[in-house]
Amino acid sequence: MNHALHRAMANAKMTEAHLADACGVDPYRSAAPASLWKSLVTKTQRELVFAGYTNYFLWLEQANLASALRRKAAEDVPLTLSTRIAVTLSELEKLGDVSGIEGRFETGHVNLSVFRFDDEMIVTPILARRVGHDSPMMHLRRRQADGMFDRFAAHVEELWSRGRDIREAKQHDPT
């Protein structure tokens, strides 16, 4: 077998293995149907994480998201929300009396939004001069150890560990 052809075939298999977690890609996050987001929120049973700059769109596009989050928290689903968007902070403040809902700030610029729904995830890398809805979107499903899903999950955990609780931040805000 031709050495170049063999190397190309080996690289193709390696690429397939690395992409095993990818189950969908869109050139724009806004191209994903609202039904995808609703389905992911609805079927989540263990862990729901919204980590990013632009998760305010979920509050605007998903009817009754606050009610769904209240139900998830009542079912003991660990729920973590992190954002610097005023809309999200306002909505989270309304849920201040619900145990099991947390939010944190991380002041570093991550250029990435990650939305986790148990073993599925939406990842949006924020491109220069673009906003979240205008950036590419990857729909991932955990299918292997240390694949793309696990790597993005570790990224979110690292940011969470460095973050400040949003209620603490509000207490120290002079405005």
CA–CA separation, 52 vs 65, rounded Å? 17
Q: What is the DSSP letter of 168?
A: H
Q: At what angle do helices 65-74 and 34-43 cross, to 10 degrees?
A: 20
| pTM over the 0.75 mark | no
Instruction: Give 161's contacts (C-beta < 8 A, 6+ positions apart).
Output: none
Q: Give 131-142 as a DSSP string.
A: -GGGS-EEEEE-
Residues β-bridged to residue 114: 51, 123
CA–CA separation, 139 vs 34, rounded Å? 14
Each of the 175 residues of the chain gets a pLDDT tens digit; together they read 555 555 555 555 556 777 789 999 999 988 888 899 999 999 999 888 888 765 777 877 888 888 888 887 777 655 443 333 455 667 777 877 888 877 766 666 568 889 999 999 999 998 888 877 888 999 999 999 999 999 999 988 888 888 887 777 565 554 4
CA-wise closest residue to 70 among 95, 102, 87: 95
- Residue 80: predicted pLDDT: 46
Residue 165 Cα to chain centre, angstroms: 18
CA–CA separation, 169 vs 119, rounded Å? 30
- Residue 66: predicted pLDDT: 85
Residue 41 Cα to chain centre, angstroms: 11
- Residue 174: predicted pLDDT: 47
- Residue 79: predicted pLDDT: 47
